[in-house]
Structure 1
């Protein structure tokens, strides 16, 4: 049996960020990961997630600005570049570029509204069907390197230890603290627990020693096995020297929402990562994933590329799945109850907020701060969790 001040369950982006924040503040932290940090069965694997400021919600845009300060601090502390600048474009009749532009204007974020023709001239690889919002401050973040970096910095303080291949079976209250059990009988004890289990949360929820009133108010989470495809760029040379000539994009139509971004290592630096937002099959929890690509989704993405991406060859050369864990209305769910902090769900767009999610978790666990009321369980229970005019997109 080992003892720690704080126990973090899950070593994805949110869990690693929480461990980093706590360790930097001088707290003893134990991180428990069921396999390996940022493994391919979760939501934080791979090298390509969208970093963007473009939200129709002023709240989320302001939180990205706060998160960016955390990214800057993380890059400075590690000496690693974790976000590659690419710029981003938003378009589609449902996306409403003009509405997002007003939010960015109020936040003081550099952006342009382009006509469809002007956007096609600047970005001929994309066949825009509406006016376009462009903001140059967007980029692509390296998820797995970010997780590795945050955990390494946490361990370097001497305050954190990471246990891979440690599958949690449940939590029990012991006096003023907690006892976390593994499936093999190993026990870790601590004063506070942070649960950042992503798609495994629905499976674990009943065994986390949470108060019954909290559980009764907890919203139903939807786990999806998303499907992502890498398409080669037509103008990329053999060395992939076009990277990252493409911007990331979000295209939202009444039919469905699509997002794309330069694939980084995930695509050998010569292709675009493309997916339908919340297009994958729903699962009871992460335990039920099969990692299989659905042929109908592949065909849908190919048809989309043929229509809207003249700069890409509509023949996927790599495919992958990734879990989204969605709270109602695509909001975040971050709350605490009697010594346990829950940081999930991030609803498919949490990657860009990683340093801030860690700050929120650490603040709740230590009592140093709070989180927006919209992310608390009570907001979902009262039906007030929805952010006005919010429409999320994968990170």
Structure 2
């Protein structure tokens, strides 16, 4: 838990970052590397599992249907390796990723074209090839598979601690257990928390599922929807297969069985003999009451979707999950991120709506948010991430 020295209202920071998940922690880290006096605020005592950055495993991959994500992840690999070297911690384990889909699926075609154009190392499998290489996976409906040979698994908990430690080692200040109550914008931004008041020339908001609540009083009604995601772990029917479960690849099933969203999975590692498989969508929820489902919204039958997937495509696993956990997504309508300046207050920067696929990009996202806060223009085309793409949100200064 971070130190609790008394706040000094006369103290002026170069930047305050609100939200110490993986995106905010990397933004603070890059600011500290640029020798900016930076304060990182987190509403919950650290470490915690209330947001979207906890747990053991996240996928990193070059395979994306959008070229702008493939371009970003190329730098992300380099920056993850840099953090590993700085922290002397092993954060990444190479593991091939299988993309499974009907060949004529438009999204799969976009995956294929992007991998080809960006020269992503890959291997194509027919159902027979796949059965020989990975006997635990069965293609049963005319699907095909292509593997992303650059992919791997990131250790989320270790990565979050590593970047926070590096931030503090560079002189950054981190205060947890401090809920932000009020933001007063201006040339100097004032942030009032449950423990004190802070001032800074720049503010970066990376508050995850709580971002909408913080930004609405600043005239920015972003269409962010928190979702509760079921994180499920599955056991082999035959105890003798437990060892082979750790040899499975990562996988991403696209629109299988007529479902709109993806199913993704990991080889056994977090829990001995248990394979992690999740449905890439969930049910709307209040992040402060994650156990109380939003009755006004339709509930997603995610567990049944996963049962059906396991029964058909991973027949060696029990069709009932052995263990269930949860995680929060914060989705935008198009599932692209928000990386932008406030339309009225240019010294307020927003990183939000990572829609369950932002963790892998965190080193690059943090760098982009740092550059935006310093008045610089990042090297990437940020038009897919601009606030102005949402029709109900102000497109110009008020």
Q: TM-score range by the shorter chain?
A: 0.7 to 0.9
Correspondent of 1:163 among 162, 172, 175: 175
Aligned residues: 367
CA displacement, residues 299-338 of structure 1 (integer Å, 9 cap, x when unaligned): 4322321111123233322211111111121101111122
Q: In the TM superposition, what are the counterparts of 1:192-271 in structure 2 within 5 Å?
A: 192-207=202-217, 210=218, 212=219, 215=220, 218-233=221-236, 242=244, 244-253=246-255, 254-256=258-260, 257-262=262-267, 264-265=269-270, 268-271=271-274
- The offset of 1:135, in angstroms, is 1.5
Aligned CA distance change for structure 1 residues 363 and 290 (closer, same or farther; 3 Å):
same
Alpha-carbon spacing, 1:234–1:64, altered in 2? closer, same or farther (3 Å): farther
Bigger Cα displacement from structure 2, 324-333 vs 109-118: 109-118
Q: 1:99 to 1:205 in 2, by over 3 A?
A: closer
Question: What secondary structure does 1:27 align onto?
Answer: coil
Aligned: 1:288 with 2:289: yes
Maintained 8 Å contact 1:259/1:274:
yes
**Cα deviation, residue 295, structure 1:** 11
Q: Distance in 1 between matches of 2:240 and 2:26?
A: 37
RMSD: 2.4
Q: Which runs of 5+ in 1 are unaligned?
A: 384-395
Gaps of 5+ in 2: 1-6, 294-298, 394-398
1:323 pairs, out of 324, 328, 335, with 328
Question: What SS does the aligned partner of 1:324 have?
Answer: strand
2:147 aligned with 1:134: yes
Cα distance in 2, alignment partners of residues 180 and 67 from structure 1: 31
Q: Tell me which residue corresponds to 2:375.
A: 367
Which of structure 1's runs of 4+ aligned residues deviate more than 6 A?
Answer: 235-238
Aligned to 1:79: 88
What CA deviation, in whole Å up to 9, does each residue of 1:29-60 have, x standing for no partner? 11110113462111101011111111111111
Measured after TM superposition, the shift of residue 164 of structure 1 is 0.9
* Aligned mate of 2:279, from 276, 279, 289: 276
Shift in Å at residue 17 of structure 1? Answer: 0.6
CA 1:164–1:310 in 2, change beyond 3 Å: closer, same or farther? same
* 1:177 counterpart residue number: 188
Within the candidate set 354, 357, 362, 1:349 is matched to: 357
What is the DSSP-based 3-state SS (H/G/I as helix, E as strand, rest coil) of the residue aligned with 1:11? coil
SS of the residue aligned with 1:19? helix
Is the counterpart of residue 45 in structure 1 residue 50 in structure 2?
A: no
Distance 1:300 1:173 in 2: 45
Aligned 8 A contact 2:19 2:42 in 1: yes
